Every structure is written in C-alpha cells, then in structure tokens.
Amino acid sequence: MLDWFRRGRQRGTPAELEGRTLGKYRMLRPLGRGGMARVYRAYHAQLDRYVAVKVLRPDLVGGDELNAESWRARFQREARAVAALRHPNVVRVFDFDVERGLSYIVMECLEGDSLKTRLNDYRVRGERMAMGEAVRILLDTLSGLAYAHSEGMIHRDLKPGNVLLTKRGDAVLSDFGIAQMVGDTRRPMPGALVGTVNYMAPEQGRDGRSDRRSDVYSVGVIFYEMLVQRLPFEADTPLAVVMKHVDDPLPLPRQIDPSIPEPFERIILKALAKDPDDRYQSAEEMAQAIRKAAEDVGVALPDRIPPPLSFTTPGAPSDSVAVFSGAERARIGDDGFATGQTATTLEKRSLLERLTAGEPLLTRSSAILLAMGLISFGNLAAFTVVGVTGLWTALSRGWPLEFFLVAAALSVVMHATGSAYLVIPLGVLLGNGFIFTYCTFTGNWRHWLFLWVFELWVIASAIVAARWLLRRSRRSHRLNRLIPLILAPMALGLSILVAYGSIAFSILDMARGWVR
C-alpha cells in the first residue's frame, strides 16, 4: 500500500487529497481505506451537505493508458447503474467522475457503524449478538440485495465491512458495483481476484464466475460468522482460504455451538452449498426461509436494529481494523477471530493433512532457492564426474539432462505457487528432453525432420492440461500441489539416467576403440 501511495504522488493520490478539491467536493478527512479505495468525508458547497467520497486506487483502474477511454466509458456505465439503485437498504450514490486520473464515487454520508465493527465490539465485551438482532440485520441485507439483483446488479464483495448499521436502525449495503467496476480492468497476474476471499463463493474464487447465488453464499458466510463468532474457513494464505471454500467440508455450526437453533443451521448449510444449484436461488428465497425459521424457534424480530455499541466512526462507517491489547484483549471470550491458523498450528499438522488441504510444503522463497540448488548441484555433479573420469565425450550425449533438471526445479516452484500455468513450460521441457535424448543417444539427427511435429503436440497438450486444471477440475488446487511432487522426482531421476547413460556410452566407445 505504501508503494502505491509513493508511485502515485505525481497523480494526486488519495493519500494527498485531504484539504483539496476534487470536482465539486472539498475533501475533508479520511474515514477509512480498504483494498480497493480510500473513503473521505467531503463537503458540497452548492448543496450545503456532507457526503462520503470513495476514491478508487489508481493502480486498479485505468492503469493502461492505451485503454484509458474504454476504461472511463466502462466506469461511467457501471457507476451509472449503481447510481440508479433506489432502496432504503442500499447506500445512495449521488455522483461519479474521473478527474486527474482519479476515479471517484460520491455517496450519502451515514452515521453509525459497520457490521464488522459491531461484531468486534461484541467480541471485546465477551457477548453474543442477540438472535433477533442478527436476523433483523440479515433480512435488511437480503432486502437490499434482492432489489439490486432485480435491477441486474451483483455485489461480488459482500462482507461485514460493507454492511452499514445506521443510527436510524437500518442495515444498508454499500460498495455495490465496486468489484464489477474494478474486476476486469487490471489483472497483474493470471487468476488475480478482486474481492474478499473469506466471504467468496467457490465458483468465484475458482473460476472468477459470479451471479446472484454467489452473493447468497457470501450472505451465508456472514450469517455463519454472526452466529458462530468466527469464519467457517481460515488459513495462512488467501489462496488456501479460497481452496477451503472450494473443497473442504463446512464446520457444522451446532457442533461448535449447540445453542444455535437447528432451523438456522439448515439455512447456513443450504446457503453455503458448494454447488450453486444447491443453494437458495435468490435473496428473496433465503429471506423467506429465515423468517419462517425465526417463527419456528420463537425469535422476536425488533422493528429496528439496536443502536451501535460504540461510535468508532462519527462521520461515516469504514472498514476499520481494531487492535486489542492488555485488559481489553483479556475480555475477549473467543480470540479465534484474531489468531486464526498461525504458522505454529500448521507445522503441527501432518504432511498428508497439509497436502489434502491443498497447502504447499515449501514457501515460495524456499522453493526458488531449492530450484536454483537443484540446477546448480546437478551441473556441478555432472562436471565433477566427467572431470574426474576424463570422459569428456559424455557431455556430447548428456547435455539433454539440462531439460530434466530445469523441469525438476520448475516442479518445485509449481508446488509452492500452485500455479497451473507452469504445466505449460513443464510439458515443453519434458517433451523436448525425451526428443533430444533420443537424438543424441542414437545419433539419428535426421529423424528431427519428422520429430519436430511432436513439438506441436507437446505444446498443445501442455496448454490443454493447464486449461483443464484451471477450468474443469474442482480439485485443481490440490492437483497443482500433487502433480509437481510426482514430476519433480521423475524429472530428477531422468536427468540421472541420462547422465549415467552418457557415461556408459562413452565407456563403450572407449572399449570399442581399444578393441580396434
């Protein structure tokens, strides 16, 4: 984030807007910031009112100058759709524009707190949110969501920080359309995601696909957190969290807290189904199920959401981060929401458990060092053997072992990163290794006249395999970790075979010379 602010100093970044004018708005003080934007309290002099101005990160939008015009048109199209939303449970958008390279959205300035802040306040007090309060918040959220879906808008980034609880006693959805506006404009690497992985539906994290059922899944995660006081899936890396949403079984709420009513657990189980077809097909359907469940268990619904426990954001709520220490931390009944799965916890798990969960056995830095070590040590060992034995002619046959050494090193990197795209260079390296080993050992280089056709098949097969891992397999992340564990020793073994074979052929050549 600091690098982003430094890179944008010459463009008037959000870090320098305090006290300045952006369009018709005098930027006052920052209210908060998140992964995609910074929010300011601002003043519109002509209308004499305060507003909240969300300034999107410059590196996420409009980064490609060649596509600047198309980006502006797309931003205005999406922002216009969001501004057309009129519902008491959706934050009003008043204005939007692009100025000095900064894209910003002007929203109504609400007083209150966010659901994220409310949940943290309850944790600090060692208390639980009342069932009636939780259901009221959820029904308001689903009401706004149903309206937006009827207008063709998908949120794509639902989380407690985007559910605002006003002093009037309403739950209001914010940041509608932000993920859509940013989602396809800049992807720094293949498979990059925009959103919050802890609340992301499996199909959204795996394939980047989302529809109204993906939003229903996110609401289910929010309901789970409200009742259980912790997230269903947590891990040490965002990718690991995504993969847990894709494949891991849901920790049952009533096993964690038996006091949770069974009808509410059934709602969570249905909303968090892995297959979108098994979930509630609309926000209205989920709201009806929640109302019926509340009636069945006798939960009284308040007309309004109770006032905030504390006003941490006097002007407008923000997705802030609370830090607890000393006596306040001692008051937290369950600090699992803060500790999560630490590295110490992961080290205690068996290798099989970590592989089953799709977690790497190596960090990226250690994988790169190991890969470099494999190539360096392999070459050093080969030259040492050749130098000691004097069989320099072995190098004329053994050089294809480099293909297998690099393939083994790349397999280690693929295991650590989990990137399916590395299957393409891996396939090309292994395919070429076999072809050139055949030509060097047999001396039939004339066969290259037809063997080059196999190059095309090797490349095509590698691309197909990568696409299958990316799009077809529901367990692709595990395969991305397991396949390299098979390919690495295989490629390393092939490089050793090529080395020994070239030495054996050199010895045979010398023996033939002696016989002659």
Of 140, 133, 132, residue with least CA distance to 89: 140
Of 149, 85, 462, 146, residue with least CA distance to 287: 146
- What are phi and psi for residue 107, nearest 5 degrees? -125, 165
Catalytic residue among 157, 215, 247, 319: 157
Tokens of 41: 């309290």
For residues 317 and 118, the answer to whether their CB atoms sit within 8 Å is: no
Sheet strands side by side (includes 25-33): 21-22, 25-33, 37-44, 49-56, 102-108, 93-99
- The pairing of strands 171-173 and 163-166 is antiparallel
For residues 70 and 181, the answer to whether their CB atoms sit within 8 Å is: no
The three-state secondary structure class of 98 is strand
| Exposed / middle / buried, residue 26 (Cβ in 10 Å: 0-12, 13-18, 19+) | middle
- Measure the CA–CA gap between 412 and 370, rounded to whole angstroms: 8
Tokens of 500: 């020994």
Residue 157 designated active-site: yes
Tokens of 251: 């920790």
| Exposed / middle / buried, residue 242 (Cβ in 10 Å: 0-12, 13-18, 19+) | buried
DSSP element (H, E) containing 106: strand 102-108
- What are phi and psi for residue 278, nearest 5 degrees? -90, -5
For residues 217 and 201, the answer to whether their CB atoms sit within 8 Å is: yes
DSSP element (H, E) containing 414: helix 401-417
Calculate the dihedral angle through the C-alpha atoms of 206, 211, 216, 218, rounding to the nearest 10 degrees.
Answer: 40
- Rounded to the nearest angstrom, the gap between the alpha carbon of residue 44 and the centroid of all alpha carbons in its chain is 37
Report the catalytic residues.
Answer: 157
